[in-house]
Amino acid sequence: MTQPYLEHTLQQFDNKTAVIGIVGLGYVGLPLMLRYSQVGFKVIGFDIDTDKIDMLNRGESYIEHIAAADIQAACRQGFTATADFARISECTAVILCVPTPLNKYREPDISFVINTTDRVKPYLRPGQVLSLESTTYPGTTEEELLPRMQENGLCVGEDVFLVYSPEREDPGNPDFETRTIPKVIGGHTEACLQAGMALYQPAIDTVVPVSSTKAAEMTKLLENIHRAVNIGLVNEMKIVADKMGIDIHEVINAAATKPFGFVPYYPGPGIGGHCIPIDPFYLTWKAREYGVNTRFIELAGEVNSAMPDYVVQKTALALNQRQKALNGAKILVLGIAYKKNVDDMRESPSVYVMERLRDLGAEVAYSDPHVPVFPKMREHNFDLSSQPLTAENLASYDCVILTTAHDRFDYNLIARHARLLIDTRGHYREPQPHIVKA
C-alpha cells in the first residue's frame, strides 16, 4: 500500500526543503533550532513570550551558554520567531518543547502541552509530523495529542504523523551537544516512526527507535529516575558518613576506582533543574492508575527534598557553636543556579536553602557570576542582585554557604576570608576549623 503523504514528507526531510517548526524557545527548543539551522533547514520558532521573540529576531540571546552570534547565523539562514500560530501550516514538522511542571500537590501539570496542542491543531494539514519532546508520563502522546490531531478528520499514520522523542539537553556540558546526544523516538504507527526518524536523522548523529510512544516516554522517566534514586542514595550516605566522621567524597572517589559495578554520584544541597526533581513524580502519579505504589522512587524523592533543611540545620549548628544565632545572621549563598556553570535556576535547591534561612530570620544575600539579578520566578521572590566576591565583602558575613560550585568562583579567596564556610559540594577536601561540610 503506497502512502503518498509519507513518501512526500520523507523526501522533504531528505532534500532539506522541509520547514521545521519549534514551539517553545527555551533551554530545549533554542539549541534544537540552532542545530536544524546549521544543517540547512528553514526553521520557524513559536513562543508566547513576545520579549523572547523580539530578542531572537534582533539576533540576541537570553540564554547564557548560547551565543548571540549563533542566533544571528540562524537568522541569516532564514530563521524567524513568531507568536502567530497560523504559521504552523507552513511547517513540515512541528516539535513541541514546552514545560511540564508539577502543580502544588506534586502532580503532573501538562496544561502547557494540552494548550499548545490546542493552538497547533487548527493549522495541521496532511503530510505534517508532530513530535512531543516534553517529559511526561507514559500514555500522554496517545491520550492527549492523538485525539486532538484527529479532530479535524486527519488520520494519524496516513495523513499526519505523531511521534514522541524526549529531549536530552544538558546545558553547560561541553562534552555533549544536541547533535551528539543520541535521540530516542517512538511512533504511534510504523509510518509515524519512519517520519520521525526522517525528521531527526539529518540533525542528530544517532537516532534510537523504540516500539511505541509509551516506551519512549518511559525511557525518559527511567533515565532521570535512575539519577534521582542514586543521588538520593548518596545524599543519605552523606548524612551517615558525616555522623561517623567520614568524608563521603573520599569514599566515593575510592569506590569509583572499581572498574565495574559502580557509577559515582555526588551529594549536594538537593536536586534541581527541569527534569530530575520533577520526572519521578510523573511516573509515581501514573503508576497509581495501575494500582502500583512506587515506594522506592518516592523515598528517594523524600531524601532529596529534605537536603535543603539538612543544610540549614548544619548552618544553624555551626553558628551556634560560634555563639551566633541564625536569627539575624548575615549569610551569603554562593551559587543559585541549579548546577555549576549555567544560569538556569529551575528547581534550584539553593533557592530553597535561601527561603528557609530567610524564614528563620537570617539576612540572606547571594553571589553568582551567571545570575546577576535574581529573576522573577513563579514560586520564589527575592529582590536581590549578585554580590561581588571581595575579601572585605566575604569577611562581612557571619556565614558563607557554597551551594553551587561554579568554576568562576575564586575558592582560595573564599576560604581565606569567609569567617564560617558551609561546603555542601565537597569542594574543600582538607579539614579547616572554619569550614563545615554539609
Helix (H, G, I), strand (E, B) or coil at 196: helix
Residue where the block lists cell 536581590: 384
Helix (H, G, I), strand (E, B) or coil at 158: coil
Q: Quickly count: other Cβ atoms within 10 Å of residue 212's Cβ.
A: 18
Q: Is 275 a catalytic residue?
A: yes
175 contact partners, CB below 8 Å, separation of at least 6 = none
Q: Which of 91, 97, 192, 275 does the annotation list as catalytic?
A: 275
Spatial distance between the Cα atoms of 338 and 367, rounded to a whole number of angstroms: 14
Q: What is the DSSP letter of 324?
A: -
Residue where the block lists cell 563521603: 248
Give which of 163, 224, 223, 220 is closest to 192, Cα–Cα. 163
20 contact partners, CB below 8 Å, separation of at least 6 = 33, 36, 41, 42, 43, 44, 91, 92, 93, 95, 199
210 strand-pairing partners: 186
C-alpha gyration radius of the chain: 24
Helix (H, G, I), strand (E, B) or coil at 229: helix
Spatial distance between the Cα atoms of 142 and 114, rounded to a whole number of angstroms: 12
Assigned C-alpha cell, 82: 513568531
Angle at CA of residue 111, ends 90 and 29, nearest 5°:
45
**Residues 156, 188 contacting (CB under 8 angstroms):** yes
The sign of the CA dihedral 423, 424, 425, 426 is positive
Q: How many CA atoms lie within 13 A of 25 on its CB side?
A: 29
Catalytic residues: 275
